[in-house]
Amino acid sequence: MINVTKTFLPPIEEYTKQIQRAWDQKWITNRGPLAIELETKLKEYLNTSNIISTTNGTIPLQIALKLLGKKGEIITTPFSYVATTAAIVWENCTPVFVDIHPEYLTIDETKIEAAITNKTTAILATHVFGNPCAIEAIEAIAKKHNLKVIYDAAHAFGVTYNGQSLFSYGDISTCSFHATKLFHTGEGGAMFANDANLYHEMFYSHNFGHNGPLAFYGVGINAKMSELQAAMGLSVFPYMGAILTERKKVTDYYNQNLNFLKLQSLKIRAKTRWNYSYYPVIFEDEKVLLQVQQNLNENQIFPRRYFYPSLNTIEYAKGDVMPISESVASRVLCLPLYVGLEESNLESIVSIINTILK
């Protein structure tokens, strides 16, 4: 069986060695030595300073919206994983959808200003498949209208834009370390902020609001990463070079062998060093996609319709019609991409797709 992704697992003895450290210290949670060590390594690797590791990748979005959303209208993209919109609704804010760019698949920055009202408090944009948004334009709009910017950078681990970590942009950026991501802690995530005061608020917010053991800065929740999660991250971390190399090989194979006369690929924004996080292809229509998906499934190959459906069509967040997002969502398929995917498997995937596209 070939799934759309497969979790990279380091040698079990390397993970148990890290787990043994936690056992020996009898320290399993509450920002233990392993979590601190992982944050230190990630700061250096990502060339960023203010990182807070978390228990998953959705809570950072909720914290960001709690601090910056102020129960207002949040301009956002309809083309993202459901967590992006769900976090907005969960934090009692109102999602206001803006359609996407047809090639980059990120929010269309030229349509943002038209959606701003006196209730707008923030822009929550997704770096789709690790592809950066139009950062300069978004930041200029936010500054002009005194809005906050939150980037859902769940897919953007290791991506740089204009020579800087993608996490260094916006008021807050968030990331996912879910098991399906190229860097993972089994389940986990992180959040980033450049402003020291905002970082302080984020930090106490992720730890029940604590100011020491007996006092509190304010309201908070429990978003702390456990030592067991950090142990996985520390075990995966040394393999990042090999992981990226292997994922690039798969990406290169698809790029060189798929029939792009009848397929659209993701256009990576200029000045970007990408991370090969996903391989989406967009078919001419949904009928072709469904035929390809069926034939692949019959051969025990399971790509994913990701992202589908367009989030403006979900019942609890219904918004205006978003023609580009709805069209792309109905035609996009993410192909298998992971370490260990053999060339013979890639040959089968490409052959099935190209045969149908003839």
Task: Give domain status of residue 5, yes or no.
Answer: no
Question: Residue written as tokens 């792309």?
Answer: 328
In this structure, the answer to whether residues 157 and 301 fall within a common structural domain is no
Mean pLDDT, the chain, rounded, equals 97
What would the mean pLDDT of 52-71 be, rounded to a whole number? 98
For residue 49, pLDDT beyond 90: no
Instruction: Please list the residues that pair with 172 across neighbouring strands.
Output: 150
In this structure, the answer to whether residues 147 and 220 fall within a common structural domain is yes
Rounded Cα distance, 186 and 236, in Å: 10
The residue segments making up the domain with residue 81 are 10-238
Residue-wise DSSP of 48-97? -S-EEEESSSSHHHHHHHHHHTTTSEEEE-SSS-HHHHHHHHHTT-EEEE
The pLDDT score that the predictor gives to residue 323 is 98
Task: Give domain status of residue 175, yes or no.
Answer: yes
pLDDT in tens, 155-180: 999 999 999 999 999 999 999 999 99
Burial class (CB in 10 A: 0-12, 13-18, 19+), 38: buried
The pLDDT score that the predictor gives to residue 127 is 98
Task: Indicate whether this model's pTM tops 0.85.
Answer: yes
In this structure, the answer to whether residues 131 and 143 fall within a common structural domain is yes
What would the mean pLDDT of 259-276 be, rounded to a whole number? 97
What would the mean pLDDT of 339-357 be, rounded to a whole number? 98
Last residue of a domain, one of 238, 267, 300: 238
Q: What are phi and psi of 120, to 5 degrees?
A: -70, 130
In this structure, the answer to whether residues 19 and 100 fall within a common structural domain is yes
The pLDDT score that the predictor gives to residue 267 is 98
The pLDDT score that the predictor gives to residue 71 is 97
pLDDT in tens, 302-330: 999 999 999 999 999 988 999 999 999 99
Last residue of a domain, one of 238, 264, 288: 238
- Confidence grade of residue 358 (pLDDT, cut at 50, 70, 90): confident
Q: What percent of the chain is modeled with pLDDT above 70?
A: 100
Question: Residue written as tokens 């390809």?
Answer: 292
The answer to whether 345 and 320 are in contact (CB under 8 A) is no
